[in-house]
Structure 1
Amino acid sequence: MPTSATQVFFAAVGDVHGHMNRMVNHLRHATDVFHQQFDFVLQVGDFEPHRDEADLATMAAPAKYRHLGDFDAYHRLRRGFPWPVYFIGGNHEPYGYLDTHPEGFELTRHCHYLGRVGVMDLHGLRVVGLSGVYSEEHFTKQRPPLSALGSVSNKDFTYFNERDLEQALELKHADVLLLHDWPSGVITPEDAARFEGQRRSPSYDAVGNDYARLLVDALQPKLVLCGHLHQHYAGTLQHPSGKKTEVRCLSSVEEGWSAFAYYELAGESLYTLGITD
């Protein structure tokens, strides 16, 4: 493992869906393997921090996927996140809760929502996040106000829109970019068979969206992290400037090791570290 006076060690986590205990247990195992504690943890949406049934009622999801999960124990400080966790919103979140602070906020100790569009400096890394997923129908529309909850579909709160994208583009630079959905063009033809005929990816070149890719091309981060499809995938995007962006797509924590990735920053270099159990 590289060593440096400016060494930073962090983890990335895919969709949690309320399984905070499972996430923490996996990460504790990783710290035992690496003999090192995380400086922070980044999470790519569908975190599902439901405090109670009222929060759960504002989530967009079929009834069979609606469950409170583990977050209430963390919110009440009966359990704690051992490291600072920074997450974005996905398409299954209690936006009735999260949108009370669309600029982002600390939900409980060591648990931070980055907001609809957020930026944080974490140990010298500029981390930018864009919450939500893309919908052609909703992209040019204004999101409903929270007062409309109950009279409009919960899904109307799950999309990023044109103003969100413009706000993210105004940030101009990122070292790490958090997205829920994938950027388009990340899958190579050699890997096409993995993505054929699935509900959210009828063909490999239909995976992701062009607006997420536009943001990647504009900010040119070292690393993009995303979730949503419950598939793990690693790719690289080449920019006209000559810079390259590593893209790491993560599965859900229910699927085990493929939902997690580990990184070390030493100086200007970002290293990917791996364990598979």
Structure 2
Amino acid sequence: MRIAIEGCCHGELDNIYEALVHLQNVNSCKIDLLIICGDFQSIRNLADLDVIACPDKYKSMGTFYRYYNGEKVAPIPTIFIGGNHEASNYLWELYHGGWVCPNIYFLGFGGVVNFGGLRIGGLTGIYNPAHYDKGFFETQPFSNKSCRSIYHVRKYNVYRMAQIRQPLHCFVSHDWPNGIAAYGNVRRLLKLKPYFADEVRTGTLGSDANQFLLKRLKPSYWFSAHLHVKFAAVYPHEPEHPVTRFLALDKCLPRRDFIQVMDIPEVEGSGPYELHYDEEWLAIMRATHEYMSLAYNQKSLPDDATIRA
């Protein structure tokens, strides 16, 4: 299976698809799936643009609306998660995941799907300890504060992800797992992004929640974006000796490393290259649904043994 990974989208769907179609034509190959690692910006109209959480000078309609209104159709099946620059009012309507338009699927605030036998999990948003232990207290219409807090990762979704027992092939997050920089070419990273030096030195570059899931789930691949730089790492898991291959990519701009095409070995039980719900994830969703909180305080979460039963 040949997949393409893209970093931060920032509404540049036309340019991303044009780049991939060009790669297919030049190399006489077919890309089976595109995964976008956040800041997707599913802006349908001017009302969505008002809600997007970013400075006004960066606000742009982008090109998603052309796919939403049917003017265009995505030429490659696409899966994405949300980041910290989103029209979260639309994504909140698809909290559990769903099609934002034909051929483009939102993985949800936390979710797992199966594409041709490939299990792909993902977590929307970025880590902020101020809201990590809270419920989803935000209500629409989102205020200036709540359109930002809504994309802060919650413990509830990390807890649900932590219940996964069957192997995950790929995991997608917007921000990086904390500590991953130590397992790649950190010297090159700091040459490109010297202002990361203090965070690398103090061990605060990245998400604690993602670090926990990296160690817990041990996926074969982990894809991220957010820091607008291409960075690769290999994270070893002891004592089992598997590894997670980590890749972060840049945002969609000229002469930037925002796309990587890679071949994934066929997995046992693979089928047609179509999107399917994941049975284990559906069971986890059902078992944990009653613990979702729409109030400021998150409901108490049972231990793993209780929820597994």
Q: State the TM-score, normalizing by the size of structure 1.
A: 0.88
Cα contact 1:18–1:47 (8 A) shared by 2: yes
Q: Which residue of 2 aligns with 1:81?
A: 74
Q: CA deviation at 1:110?
A: 0.7
* Whole-Å separation in 2 of the counterparts to 1:151 and 1:226: 26
Partner of residue 121, structure 1: 114
1:21-62: CA deviation from partner (whole Å, max 9, x where unpaired): 111111111112331121111110001110001111221111
Partners of 2:135 and 2:65 lie apart in 1 by: 31
Residue from 111, 116, 139 that aligns with 1:146? 139
More strand by share: 1
Pair 1:183 & 2:183 matched: no
Residue matched to 1:206: 204
Q: Is the 8 A contact 1:96 1:146 kept in 2?
A: no
Structure 1 SS opposite 2:181: coil
Residue in 2 that maps onto 1:246: 245
CA contact (8 A) 1:197 1:203 kept: no
Checking the alignment, whether the CA contact within 8 Å between 2:174 and 2:224 is kept in structure 1 is: yes
SS in 2 for 1:25: helix
Q: How many residues align?
A: 261
RMSD: 1.9
| Match 2:191 to one of 184, 190, 194 | 194
Larger Rg: 2
Instruction: Please state whether the residue corresponding to 2:233 is helix, strand or coil.
Output: strand
CA distance in 2, matches of 1:104, 1:201: 36
- After superposition, where does 1:1-277 map in structure 2 within 5 Å? 8-147=1-140, 149-150=142-143, 152-172=145-165, 173-188=167-182, 189-191=186-188, 193-194=190-191, 197-198=194-195, 202-204=198-200, 205-240=203-238, 241-256=240-255, 258-268=257-267
- Give 1:148 shift: 5.3
Q: Give the residue type in structure 1 aligned to 2:210.
A: A
Q: Which segments of 5 or more consecutive residues in structure 1 lack a partner in the other structure? A: 1-7, 270-277
- Give the distance between the partners of 1:201 and 1:156, measured in 2 at CA: 27
Deviations 1:122-158, CA, capped at 9 Å, x for gaps: 1111000100000011111112243351374311111
SS in 1 for 2:253: helix
Cα distance change on mapping 1:192 and 1:152 into 2, 3 Å: closer
The answer to which structure has the higher helix fraction is 2
Contact 1:99–1:146 at 8 Å: present in 2 too?
no
- Inter-CA distance 83–192: structure 2 relative to 1 (3 Å threshold): closer
Is the alpha carbon distance of 1:239 and 1:161 closer, same or farther for their aligned partners in structure 2, counting shifts above 3 Å?
A: same
List alignment gaps of at least 5 residues for structure 2: 269-309
- The change in CA–CA distance for 1:107 and 1:207 in structure 2 (over 3 A counts) is same
Identity of aligned residues (%): 25
What's the offset of the Cα at 1:103?
0.3
Tell me how far apart the structure 2 counterparts of residues 146 and 255 of structure 1 sit (CA, whole Å). 38
User: In 1, distance between residues paired with 2:83 and 2:9?
Assistant: 10
Distance 1:108 1:32, change over 3 A: same
**1:268, CA displacement in angstroms?**
4.9
TM-score by length of 2: 0.80
User: Given residue 92 of structure 2, which amino acid in structure 1 is its aligned partner?
Assistant: D
